[in-house]
């Protein structure tokens, strides 16, 4: 590449090239068939070398694939490079919706589902879990279509780019709905932990924001589905107070970038993300990590992290605690049961952040914590193996080896985690 290509937050400069922008699935197939090594690069919202390649980088942002809604099947098929915020606007205009959104609407659909990215909500699985089909260009340039009944779909959705270049994704959809978002401040930690399940279940989507210091959780964001008929139980937030105006989860940042608060109902796609599509998301120049623990271990894992506040907080912008329903996708961080995500938005102090990652993983290892594939992590955790954390790990690795024996889609990231 003649110009340095970085992740959205400047956290990593991608290795590989040339960078190509095919406009059709046929062009993608020809590129893959003629390349020794290739990786797809999405909206560049990872924080590391997940999309690096020893050869060609394929960007899918110019792929000309129509968005097709099937009202009878209740699905939408969309090009892999489309951003969720754009898909959501089109769906809402047609009377349809997704079940959830990630905190950033800026991310592209293929990279999002390939890394098991998620929103928050006790009843809401991650965005990968509602994939009903994939179109994938394989290692020889062949185009494969995996439908809802294909036995390889559950293995391929959260694929980390190891099985090919995804060009189309089909999602389950539902009729559109409205959401009202409210923010509460200074929830005492003893209430947050003592009533954890009740608090996380008190709205359609709930997020707790903390810097791990003090006696209170800084912010509680609750997003209520208006069609549920209730705005939830405020009594579970005893000791907290409603925010008097808009707030940003990162202290000192302008709340104009955030979706509307104050309990004002609005379309699902304008409330479920934390940030507006037309603004720079989060803080911009930052790093991120996240670990997902089984719901049963959530309170103990949170208490373990509170014990690391003196090491974590000086490097932190903010942390978010959120819940995700389980799924059956082989490499999903929510495979096999409900999870709670423990997310860290770090200051851009990479060496110091990387030094503290193993400390966090050691503290979370007793709780079977799985790191988010698209964010910074050191490994599976002290004394743990990937096979310990993922029951279908060896099956996934065998499928990758069968589909890509020559390592066309292999890179340092996949080798580092043992998937090539």
CATH 3.30.70.2520 in the chain, residue ranges: 178-371
Structure-model confidence comparison of residues 57 and 229, the more confident one: 57
Pairing of strands 96-97, 174-175: antiparallel
Query: Where are the domain boundaries for CATH 3.30.465.10 in the chain?
Result: 68-176
Rg of the Cα atoms in the chain: 20
CA separation for the pair 172, 249 (Å, rounded): 30
What DSSP string describes 50-111? TT--SSEEEE-TT-----EEETTTTEEEEETT-BHHHHHHHHHHTTEE-S---S-TTSBHHH
pLDDT at res. 207: 98
**pTM of the entire structure?**
0.95
pLDDT band for position 2 (cuts 50, 70, 90): very low
Residues 6+ apart with CB under 8 A from 116: 126, 128, 158, 329, 331, 332, 333, 334, 372, 373
Helices 298-306, 350-364: crossing angle, 10 deg rounding: 130
Q: Which residue has 């989860």 as its token pair? A: 249
Q: For the chain, what percent of residues have pLDDT higher than 90?
A: 88
Residue 232 has pLDDT above 90, yes or no: no
User: Each residue of 262-278: pLDDT tens digit?
Assistant: 999 999 999 999 999 88
Class level of CATH domain 178-371: alpha beta
- The pLDDT score that the predictor gives to residue 279 is 81
Q: Which neighbouring-strand residues pair with 146?
A: 134
Rounded to an integer, what distance in angstroms lies between the CA atom of residue 22 and that of residue 161?
17
Across the chain, mean pLDDT equals: 95
The DSSP symbol for 260 reads P
CATH no. of 68-176:
3.30.465.10
Encode pLDDT of 170-191 as tens digits: 999 999 999 999 999 999 999 9
* Confidence tier at 228 by pLDDT (50, 70, 90): confident
């Amino acid at each position: 590449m003649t110009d340095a290509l970085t992740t959205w937050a400047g956290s990593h400069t991608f290795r590989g090239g040339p960078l190509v922008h095919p406009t059709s699935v046929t062009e993608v197939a020809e590129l893959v068939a003629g390349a020794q090594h290739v990786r797809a690069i999405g909206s560049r919202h990872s924080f590391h070398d997940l999309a690096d390649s020893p050869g060609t980088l394929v960007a899918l942002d110019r792929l000309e694939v129509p968005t097709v809604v099937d009202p009878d099947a209740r699905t939408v098929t969309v090009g892999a490079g489309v951003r969720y915020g754009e898909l959501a606007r089109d769906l809402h205009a047609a009377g349809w919706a997704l079940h959830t959104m990630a905190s950033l609407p800026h991310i592209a659909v293929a990279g999002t589902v390939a890394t098991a990215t998620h929103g928050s909500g006790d009843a809401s699985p991650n965005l990968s879990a509602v994939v009903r089909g994939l179109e994938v260009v394989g290692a020889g340039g062949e185009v494969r279509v995996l439908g809802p009944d294909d036995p390889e779909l559950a293995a391929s959705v959260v694929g980390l780019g190891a099985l090919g270049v995804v060009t189309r994704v089909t999602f389950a959809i539902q009729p559109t709905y409205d959401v009202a978002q409210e923010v509460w401040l200074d929830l005492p930690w003893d209430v947050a932990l003592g009533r954890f399940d009740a608090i996380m279940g008190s709205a359609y989507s709930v997020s707790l924001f903390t810097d791990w210091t003090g006696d209170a959780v800084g912010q509680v964001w609750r997003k209520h589905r208006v069609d549920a008929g209730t705005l939830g139980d405020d009594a579970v937030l005893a000791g907290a107070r409603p925010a008097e105006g808009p707030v940003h989860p990162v202290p000192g940042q302008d709340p104009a970038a955030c979706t509307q608060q104050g309990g004002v109902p609005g379309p699902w796609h304008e409330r479920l993300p934390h940030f507006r599509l037309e603004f720079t998301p989060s803080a911009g120049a930052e790093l991120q990590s996240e670990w997902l623990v089984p719901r049963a271990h959530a309170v103990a894992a949170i208490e373990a992290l509170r014990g690391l506040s003196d090491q974590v907080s000086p490097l932190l912008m903010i942390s978010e605690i959120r819940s995700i329903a389980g799924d059956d996708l082989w490499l999903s961080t929510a495979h096999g049961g409900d999870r709670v995500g423990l997310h860290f938005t770090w200051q851009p102090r990479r060496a110091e952040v990387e030094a503290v990652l193993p400390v966090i993983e050691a503290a979370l290892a007793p709780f079977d914590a799985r790191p988010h594939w698209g964010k910074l992590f050191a490994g599976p955790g002290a004394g743990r193996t990937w096979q310990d954390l993922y029951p279908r790990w060896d099956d996934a690795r065998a499928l990758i080896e069968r589909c890509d024996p020559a390592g066309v889609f292999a890179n340092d990231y996949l080798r580092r985690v043992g998937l090539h």
